[in-house]
């Protein structure tokens, strides 16, 4: 996820250093170090926590001395609470965010939540920073951010899985993998673009506009969600993701 954001952040004014022992590829203009000792006590206005939440306790405390006076820690980690991170980082100001993967093409959706000691300047920077990767929503509680995680952070995973299953079903209608992918992604993309037009009707109205009485769509929709099974499944999906975020706090 860090690489996806970096691909947008690299176009901004900040000088960026990535520390990654795996030596992942970074865009031109970004400094990469593979060993924390290489940055010694260099000072940074913003330290970004972009490792797995389960690794934060072991990794982030080593960077307390690298945070410049007046700087803040920006976390993209799911669940891990701002209070816990602030304490780990010597009572540093923390802003938690929750981006999603289409940030890689500037089409992400990011939640932002100010945590302990964060001031208006930190929040304004975080909002500007995340908005370079797509749209943002600022929430006033971490519980809400964990719900953003369930809806949007993990969301591309649900969408890719739905598209994958949709394409698999198309292949069972005797289309090749390429044909199925093109039709399914074209259909999803076209429908989403239409629903996203300014002044577009509600999703329910749009669905109804495809559905002729006793026609093919009605037959398909009846199989898809006639018993409410899809609605229940999606509710359970979001709840399970939220519950996992709570466990990671």
Ligand X SMILES: NC(=O)C1=CN([C@@H]2O[C@H](COP(=O)(O)OP(=O)(O)OC[C@H]3O[C@@H](n4cnc5c(N)ncnc54)[C@H](O)[C@@H]3O)[C@@H](O)[C@H]2O)C=CC1
The residues binding ligand X (CB under 6 A) are 1-2, 19-22, 24, 50-53, 55, 59, 76-78, 98-101, 153
Q: How far apart are CB 130 and ligand X at their closest, in Å? A: 11
Query: Please, are residues 99 and 126 in contact by the beta-carbon 8 Å criterion?
Result: no
- Tell me if 153 contacts ligand A1CAB by CB under 6 A: yes
Which residues, in sequence order, are bridge partners of residue 46? Answer: 72
From ligand A1CAB, ligand X, none, which one binds at residue 22 (CB under 5 to 8 Å depending on kind)? ligand X
Torsion of CA 184, 154, 199, 201, to 10 degrees: 60
- Tell me if 78 contacts ligand A1CAB by CB under 6 A: yes
Q: How far apart are CA 80 and CA 246, in angstroms?
A: 8
Beta strand spans in the chain (E): 17-19, 31-33, 44-49, 67-75, 94-98, 108-114, 134-138
Pairing of strands 17-19, 31-33: parallel
Record the tokens describing residue 189, joined without a space: 């993309």
Q: How far apart are CB 75 and ligand X at their closest, in Å? A: 8
CB nearer to ligand X: give 78 or 92.
78
- Tell me if 149 contacts ligand A1CAB by CB under 6 A: yes
Q: How far apart are CB 60 and ligand X at their closest, in Å? A: 9
From ligand A1CAB, ligand X, none, which one binds at residue 109 (CB under 5 to 8 Å depending on kind)? none
Q: How far apart are CB 241 and ligand X at their closest, in Å? A: 11
Record the tokens describing residue 171, joined without a space: 């292949």
Binding interface with ligand A1CAB (CB under 6 A):
78, 149, 153-154
């Amino acid at each position: 996820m860090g690489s996806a954001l970096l691909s947008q952040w690299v176009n901004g004014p900040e000088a960026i250093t990535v520390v990654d022992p795996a030596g992942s590829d970074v865009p031109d203009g970004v400094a990469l170090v593979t060993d924390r000792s290489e940055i010694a006590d260099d000072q940074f206005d913003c330290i970004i926590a972009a490792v797995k939440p389960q690794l934060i306790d072991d990794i982030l405390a080593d960077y307390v001395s690298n945070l410049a006076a007046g700087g803040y820690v920006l976390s993209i980690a799911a669940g891990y609470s701002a209070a816990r991170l602030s304490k780990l980082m010597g009572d540093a100001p923390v802003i938690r965010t929750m981006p999603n993967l289409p940030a890689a093409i500037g089409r992400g959706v990011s939640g932002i939540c100010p945590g302990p000691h964060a001031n208006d300047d930190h929040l304004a920077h975080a909002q500007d920073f995340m908005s370079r990767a797509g749209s943002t929503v600022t929430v006033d509680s971490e519980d809400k951010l964990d719900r953003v995680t369930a809806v949007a952070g993990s969301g591309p995973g649900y969408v890719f899985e739905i598209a994958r299953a949709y394409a698999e079903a198309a292949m069972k209608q005797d289309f090749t993998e390429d044909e199925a992918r093109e039709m399914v992604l074209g259909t999803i993309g076209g429908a989403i673009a239409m629903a996203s037009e300014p002044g577009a009707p509600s999703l329910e109205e749009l669905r109804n506009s495809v559905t002729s009485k006793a026609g093919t769509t009605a037959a398909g929709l009846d199989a898809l969600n006639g018993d409410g099974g899809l609605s229940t499944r999606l509710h359970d999906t979001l709840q399970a993701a939220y519950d996992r975020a709570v466990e990671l706090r």
